[in-house]
Structure 1
Amino acid sequence: MAGCRVGVFLLLGLLWTACGVKTPLVSPDLELPKAVGGFEVIIRGKTVLFTWPAPDGKHREEISGYRLFYEDLLADRQRGCNCRRFHDLAFVDPVSSEIVDGRLQLKLDIDPVWMGKLYSYLVVPVSRKGFAGAESEEEVVLWEPSPPPPSSLTAVPGDRTATLQWKSPPGESVRYLVYRRSGKAAFPLHPVNAVPLGKPHFEEGGLRNGTTYHYAVRSIAAGGPPWIESVSSPEVSVIPLDRKAPASPIGIEAIAGPGRVRLFWEENKETDLAGYRVYRRTKKEKNARFIGEVKTPGTAFTDSSVSAGVRYEYSVTAFDHAPEPNESAPSRKVTVVAQ
């Protein structure tokens, strides 16, 4: 916007906002609060959230609070004003305000009179002596109603993955943001996908098998950022599972000794290997039956429940650490006559 930029300064409780007004005289030795970084405006459903990093250490002692300002950009243009006219929206006390994940949060109900307006927002730190610091970067919002949320959200688990699908709001041209949480934590401020999705489908990898994840999806209107988000879809939960079995053991050998049969095989290379299972069958048995288990790093098994002169057929499988262990196909079979 052309014209002069009005500095927003507080001195002894006075707000200076007129075009061309000189800022108060400030001692060159006075250290004013620095500009707030990471200022964000997040709009969801019928609420708007203003958030920025909470002060810490030395800054916590220096800052008495923050003033949140807004400017009606369209109104100023219609008046032909070349100035920046910011209005006081709220004062945020860092001591009494909500702090989540190290960020101050101010939540307000959306006023219907905002619809169709173009507002610019910024936040200014205020020192304990009443001096205002530098202004944050501005966040500009073209206000419009939030879209309806997605419906029929489903989640299918995979090996360290979750695949989501949902139905789009009828008659709406929207994109989507996906949110994930685990445990008892609330959904974070920011979505999993940095770029809004154009289709009602999302697959996330790199998850931890056996951990419960909760997902919700929100529609967003065409403008932004800041995005105008819908309320959340109904939440769904998913537990990624390792469904890939280890390779079959190789190098199986059987050696008969007095009253026992000793089995040996080569070590599997899988990083999530838990151990091996040993199966045995006699000529009279239709199917092999489980007779023992060997935990890693073992690669040998002794069968002491044999009868002399009986021919035994052995095979070995490998299994992993999944909550419901994946078991490999049997190794090649080896046959031996017990002594």
Structure 2
Amino acid sequence: MKMYVMRRGSLVGSLLSGLLLIGLTGCGYKNDPVAPQALVPAPINDLRYELTDKGAVLHWSYPTRTVGGEELTEIDSFMLYRAEVASGSYCETCPIPFGSPIKIDGGLIPEREGRRSASYEIGLLRPAHQYFFKVHSRTGWLTPSADSNQVNFTWETPPAIPQDLVAEVGSNIISLQWQPVSSYLDGSTADNIKYQVSRRVGKGSFKNVGSLLTQPEFMDTQVSGGHEYTYRVQALSDYDGDMVAGEFGKPFKVEVVDLIAPATPENVTTARTAASVKIFWDQGTEADLAGYRIYRRLGNEDDPVMIGEVQMPYTIYEDTEAPDENIYVYYSVSSFDKSDPANESERSAEVEGE
């Protein structure tokens, strides 16, 4: 009988070879694996904030390319980091104690020109504390970007709400006044208060007008007749260069009535034909000019009578009912604007129809 003896070393080698063969044939790859670094978004570099009466709002743009320059079509999510430090204990050389991140859903990146933006409202802020923020983006759980630019601000109690806004309407001017703000929302005395006026034209959206004011008054000269304007005012306080904004006060609506007529038409002339008299004049230059009215007076009459009206941009009128050339006839022209009712200018000097 023959006996076959396998040495211990040969057995171990065979087992290792078998395991290696299984590993190579069972990895599941059909193509070369993609390195996660090729999917890492470039860092966000435009993180910014605006302070409100409730806290702050953070804004940033979606990254559009990876760190390697490849175009991105979607961001899976953002990770927002926040740190809170009491103003009196802040150390510029100490590490910032960022807490666990807040996950914010991402989305598709549009192919059209322009960049998609993300926003996040920050609440539950404590007075006399500094807040620090940074954000990461990622295309998957293994592909977070590097830190964005970091932003920070000091939060304090906002000013009280401006009260008793009133307006006085003049000729293409609106003057606003309101009670000065002298306290914060918690009732403590406020100083270094500034004001921002916001305006809405018709049914449009509110937009800030003018710069920050130190006095509770504002004169708006960028108005025109026939329009409705709505105003509101908020108070702001300056904390180490950050403007903490209070809530807007109650809106006040006013309507500007245009009482200014266009200029009187100049260089009125006439030309008689076999069947009519044509009247000519120079074009006006007012932005709200709507048209012209033509007047006729016979030689034996005291007052002229309006015989027609033409709309912009025409500066000619043909009087087909003019008397024959044996009767003296005189013409004058006025201009009118787009107001309702329209403002009409003085009539021009009369010229004879000849």
Question: TM-score, normalization: structure 2?
Answer: 0.67
Query: Is the CA contact 2:81–2:134 (under 8 Å) kept in the aligned structure 1?
Result: yes
Q: Which amino acid in 2 is paired with 1:93? A: D
Larger Rg over CA atoms: 2
Query: Is the CA contact 1:68–1:89 (under 8 Å) kept in the aligned structure 2?
Result: yes
Partner in structure 1 of residue 130 of structure 2: 119
Greater RCO (Cα-Cα under 8 Å, separation 6 or more): 1
Deviation at 1:54, TM superposition (A): 4.4
Q: CA RMSD, aligned part only?
A: 4.0
1:216 to 225, 232, 250: 232
1:146 aligns with 2:159: yes
Q: From the superposition, tell whether residues 323 and 42 of structure 1 become closer, same or farther in structure 2 (CA, over 3 Å).
A: farther
1:143-199 CA-partner distances (Å, limit 9, x unpaired):
22432324324374765x6554333235654211122345656546xx334x42112
1:262 to 269, 278, 288: 278
Structure 2 unaligned runs (5+)? 1-34, 65-70, 108-114, 184-189
2:334 to 309, 312, 317: 317
1:292 to 308, 312, 320: 308
Q: From the superposition, tell whether residues 133 and 50 of structure 1 become closer, same or farther in structure 2 (CA, over 3 Å).
A: farther
Query: Identity of paired residues, percent?
Result: 22
When the two structures are aligned, how many residues end up with a matched partner?
298
Alignment of 1:20-99 (within 5 A): 31-44=40-53, 47-55=54-62, 61-74=74-87, 76-77=89-90, 82-88=94-100, 90-94=102-106
Deviation at 1:64, TM superposition (A): 1.2
Deviation at 1:37, TM superposition (A): 0.6
Q: From the superposition, tell whether residues 35 and 158 of structure 1 become closer, same or farther in structure 2 (CA, over 3 Å).
A: farther
Q: From the superposition, tell whether residues 262 and 272 of structure 1 become closer, same or farther in structure 2 (CA, over 3 Å).
A: same
3-state SS of paired residue (1:327): coil
Q: From the superposition, tell whether residues 82 and 169 of structure 1 become closer, same or farther in structure 2 (CA, over 3 Å).
A: closer
Q: Which amino acid in 1 is paired with 2:209? A: V
1:286-308 CA-partner distances (Å, limit 9, x unpaired):
54332111233433323334455
Partner in structure 2 of residue 302 of structure 1: 318
Q: From the superposition, tell whether residues 288 and 82 of structure 1 become closer, same or farther in structure 2 (CA, over 3 Å).
A: same
3-state SS of paired residue (2:74): helix
1:107 aligns with 2:135: no
Question: TM-score, normalization: structure 1?
Answer: 0.69
Query: Is the CA contact 2:283–2:313 (under 8 Å) kept in the aligned structure 1?
Result: yes
